Structure 1
Amino acid sequence: MKNELVVKDNALMNASYNLEVTEQRLILLAIINARQTGNGITADSKLEIHANDYASRFNVSNDGAYKALKSAVLNLFDRQFSFKEEDKKGNIGTVKSRWVSRIKYIDDSATLEITFAPDVVPLITRLEQQFTSYQLKQVTQLTSKYAIRLYELIIAWREVGKVPQIELSDFRNRIGLENTEYTAMCDFKKRVLEPAIKQINEHTDIVTTYEQHKKGRSITGFSFKFKQKQIRTEVKKDKNIGDFFNRMTDSQRLKFGSKLAYDERVQSEYSHLIGTGNYEQFGQLLAEMLAEKRHFEMFFPLLVEHGFNV
């Protein structure tokens, strides 16, 4: 799998919506598709998702992928979400929008064709201000729709390392719960919150815990602490590592510096050097670091993981 980056405006990361796992996955693939066109997208752009791509990325059968794409035609068109938006005077309003304005399934080629709604397009393309990114592989093993949403809510606070208290009703809305679902707190924890945290801790690049906040005996909200899983910096002392360092060319340093710049583990370790989403400059800085043997040895396991030929 390529280094596929999901990038969303923070308004979308914190939006309220209820999408099933397959629908969230299709939206993520469409976002990646939109970014990889290289030409930008508009509210008229048609983005294709192939069943075999869905199957390979999320480790499901071809039959499961076909069913996911077919069901999306029936359900995804009707899905809505809401998000906060500030006008020119600084007033905050709530926007309600569909995800897609057009959707088509082509049976012969097992292809889904998606056109994002006008309100969605700037939230995945116009990212000069506040945005959050993560690699698709971090959520490919999450099978709970609540786990995917909770992961996104948490990593939007990556630079801080903790999520401040979210009021209970707001939290329920953001992760996609209907008012009538899991209303008893014991059911909410058992069926939603704790399984989501378990999946996140097992399958993603972070480890998280939650704290509940009360008024009297009633739980009124939750906050989260999390930390990035450590980069494996211990390198087997192999005499060949020095040879690899000596053989690495300037063009390879630039190439792998760019790859490391999009690795969340590196971003977490060197977040103070990134700036506001300036991954190009960050990649150049990492390339310079790779010219030093101590840094090369530290990053060596990740270089191999990103395709460095040993």
Structure 2
Amino acid sequence: MMTATEKLNIRFHTGLTQEEKKFLYLLAKLVEDTDNMETKYALDIQDVMCELGFPFSSDFHPLTNVTYLLRSEVLDFFRKEDENRIQTSWLTGILYGAEETQLYVQIDIELKDFFLNLKENPEMITFCDVSHLERTISKRLYYLITHLGEKAGTSVYTMDELFETLEVSGRSYSQFSHFKQRILDKAVKEINEKTDLLIDITPMRTGRKVTKVMFSFQRLPL
């Protein structure tokens, strides 16, 4: 099973706009290891507007739209250490100050490791630009294969890990042939045609049942 941070990294790269990513990075720069669930992070509204590329204005509705969407998106993942299921959102609390100069944000403590990782790795903002891929599952598969930064190699994932990461219902694809034809083959084809990544898949069986999939990959110069 992937760690919560790895799963959240995939959501970060494949489910958010550049403005949303930049906002989360600005927030991550304020997060400390000693923070707790009561910690509130203060950001200057005009500074954030500027960093996100919005024009200088007393109207900060573009920013409220960004925070609204981050507050609305449901994150669903499992903690690796105890396999407890967590459902939360990128932001758990948002308060715009009465004088309209400060923004106060709270996060779920379950996301602290993700934010600390983002704080130490700002290159995550520009890494893995897959906005030109049409299929969301293609984006998730691309990052799953490339998130360790290797240029070539093999990765093996169980069927449950693939269902979870690609956000596909395992009950809908009890037969591997259907999953391969309708999900994997289409995603691999789009990635191979439109990105710097070449992928080949090899089913791995336990008895007659496919229980894992091996991905052989190579990143090519752009």
Residue of structure 2 in register with 1:190 after alignment? 181
Once residues 122 and 73 of structure 1 are traced to their aligned partners in structure 2, the CA distance between those partners, rounded to angstroms, is 18
Relative to structure 1, the CA distance from residue 114 to residue 123 in structure 2 (aligned partners, 3 Å threshold; closer, same or farther) is same
Q: C-alpha displacement at 1:221, in angstroms? A: 0.9
Residue of structure 2 in register with 1:96 after alignment? 85
Q: C-alpha displacement at 1:207, in angstroms? A: 1.7
- The alignment status of 1:142 with 2:133, answered yes or no, reads yes
- The alignment status of 1:44 with 2:34, answered yes or no, reads no
Relative to structure 1, the CA distance from residue 196 to residue 114 in structure 2 (aligned partners, 3 Å threshold; closer, same or farther) is farther
Residue of structure 1 in register with 2:100 after alignment? none
Once residues 128 and 4 of structure 2 are traced to their aligned partners in structure 1, the CA distance between those partners, rounded to angstroms, is 22
- Report the secondary structure of 1:81's partner residue: strand
The residue type paired with residue 13 of structure 1 is: E
Work out the number of aligned pairs and report it: 191
Once residues 127 and 148 of structure 2 are traced to their aligned partners in structure 1, the CA distance between those partners, rounded to angstroms, is 18
Structure 1: gaps spanning 5 or more residues: 1-8, 55-64, 85-91, 107-112, 232-310
The residue type paired with residue 83 of structure 2 is: T
| 1:222 aligns with one of 213, 219, 222 | 213
The residue type paired with residue 132 of structure 2 is: Q
| 1:13 aligns with one of 6, 14, 18 | 6
Provide the alpha-carbon RMSD of the alignment. Answer: 4.5
Residue of structure 2 in register with 1:35 after alignment? 25
Once residues 185 and 25 of structure 1 are traced to their aligned partners in structure 2, the CA distance between those partners, rounded to angstroms, is 30
1:238-286 per-position Cα deviation (integer Å, ceiling 9, x unaligned):
xxxxxxxxxxxxxxxxxxxxxxxxxxxxxxxxxxxxxxxxxxxxxxxxx
Question: Does the 8 Å contact 1:103/1:115 carry over to 2?
Answer: yes
Residue of structure 2 in register with 1:242 after alignment? none
Residue of structure 1 in register with 2:201 after alignment? 210
Q: Show the 5 A alignment for 1:15-94.
A: 24-26=15-17, 29-36=19-26, 39-41=29-31, 44-45=40-41, 72=69, 76=73, 78-84=74-80, 92-94=81-83
Once residues 132 and 10 of structure 1 are traced to their aligned partners in structure 2, the CA distance between those partners, rounded to angstroms, is 20
Once residues 160 and 73 of structure 1 are traced to their aligned partners in structure 2, the CA distance between those partners, rounded to angstroms, is 32
- Report the secondary structure of 2:16's partner residue: helix
Relative to structure 1, the CA distance from residue 213 to residue 114 in structure 2 (aligned partners, 3 Å threshold; closer, same or farther) is farther
Task: Give the TM-score normalised by structure 2.
Answer: 0.62
Once residues 125 and 26 of structure 2 are traced to their aligned partners in structure 1, the CA distance between those partners, rounded to angstroms, is 15
Structure 2: gaps spanning 5 or more residues: 33-38, 54-61, 97-103
Task: Give the TM-score normalised by structure 1.
Answer: 0.47
Residue of structure 1 in register with 2:57 after alignment? none
Question: Does the 8 Å contact 1:102/1:115 carry over to 2?
Answer: yes
